[in-house]
């Protein structure tokens, strides 16, 4: 009898969904980790405070699911998901307080499997984790509807890459190194961005593109 109970317990342990959680807000991170652990079939194997730590721990621990805040220092949730896609099989879910339609398109473009607002309670987040762990995708219906009606971005994917790589004030040379481009090519892309958006400088372009959800 005791042996059968032990066997059942071992089987339950092996079926737990191993989740890496990343959010730069410590209180939210701790509360969500505690609530998800109560679900029984979910195990929080790492709790990370920024994007760089999330990448490092995900590569080390190989989780089933990475639950990533969109806005984190170092690397945002989409950047983390893009980096991990090339290295491990974990599926990524993005949670965000500000669900901009352009970010949804960017997230889906790098293979993110789930996208939902932080306003959802822990039981709903757990349900999405199970759905994604089972191989499905989930996008919050309101965010999806907003994405369908949002203004179309006039910038090309490469122009957005250049703008994103320089949004924290990086120099042309730094952007060029990050994207493996020639500095002259970066300058050409930035010139095209300014012309299309009708703004005088890069920071104004970053602000406008962010406000409209393109970054």
Mean pLDDT of 49-55: 94
Domain range annotation of the chain: 13-149, 157-211
pLDDT of residue 150: 60
Among 38-42, 104-108, 196-200, the least confident range: 104-108
What pTM does this model have?
Answer: 0.69
pLDDT of residue 1: 44
Mean pLDDT of 150-169: 85
Model confidence band, residue 147 (pLDDT cutoffs 50, 70, 90): low
End-to-end alpha carbon distance in the chain: 58
More confident residue, 212 or 10: 212
% of the chain at pLDDT higher than 90:
62
> What backbone phi and psi angles, to 5 degrees, belong to 68?
-120, 130
Query: CATH: 3.40.50.300, 1.10.10.10, 1.10.510.10, 3.40.640.10. Which one for 157-211?
Result: 1.10.10.10
User: Does the structure show a pLDDT above 90 at 182?
Assistant: yes
**Are β-strands 91-96 and 65-69 bridged in parallel, bridged antiparallel, or unpaired?**
parallel
More confident residue, 136 or 4: 136
User: Following DSSP, what letter does each residue of the chain receive, concatenated?
Assistant: -HHHHHHHHHHHHHTSEEEEEE-S-HHHHHHHHHHHHTTSSEEEEEEESSHHHHHHHHHHH--SEEEEESS-SSS-HHHHHHHHHTT---EEEEEESS--HHHHHHHHHTT--EEEETTS-HHHHHHHHHHHHTT--EE-HHHHHHHHHSPPP-S-HHHHHHHHHTTT---HHHHHHHHT--HHHHHHHHHHHHHHHT-SSHHHHHHHHHHTT--
Q: Which fold has domain 13-149?
A: Rossmann fold (3.40.50)
User: Does the structure show a pLDDT above 70 at 73?
Assistant: yes
pLDDT of residue 96: 87
pLDDT of residue 196: 92
Q: What is the mean pLDDT of the chain?
A: 87
The span from the CA of 128 to the CA of 137, in Å, is: 9
The span from the CA of 79 to the CA of 85, in Å, is: 10
Tens of pLDDT, residue by residue over 99-145, are 666 778 788 888 999 999 888 999 999 999 999 999 999 998 887 87
């Amino acid at each position: 009898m005791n042996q059968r109970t032990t066997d059942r317990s071992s089987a339950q342990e092996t079926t737990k969904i191993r989740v890496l959680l990343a959010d730069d807000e410590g209180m939210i991170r701790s509360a969500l980790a505690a609530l998800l652990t109560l679900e029984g079939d979910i195990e929080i194997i790492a709790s990370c405070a920024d994007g760089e730590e999330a990448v490092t721990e995900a590569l080390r621990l190989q989780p089933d699911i990475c639950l990533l805040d969109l806005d984190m220092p170092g690397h945002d949730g989409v950047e983390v998901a893009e980096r991990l896609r090339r290295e491990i099989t974990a599926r990524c879910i993005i949670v965000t307080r500000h669900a901009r339609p352009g970010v949804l398109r960017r997230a889906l473009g790098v293979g993110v499997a789930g996208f939902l607002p932080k306003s959802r309670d822990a039981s709903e987040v757990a349900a999405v984790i199970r759905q994604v762990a089972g191989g499905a995708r989930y996008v919050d219906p309101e965010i999806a509807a907003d994405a369908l009606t949002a203004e179309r971005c006039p910038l090309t994917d490469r122009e957005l890459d250049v703008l994103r790589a320089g949004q924290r004030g990086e120099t042309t040379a730094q952007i060029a190194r990050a994207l493996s481009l020639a500095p002259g090519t970066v300058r050409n892309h930035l010139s095209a961005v300014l012309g299309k958006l009708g703004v005088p400088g890069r920071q104004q372009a970053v602000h406008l593109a962010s406000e409209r959800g393109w970054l």
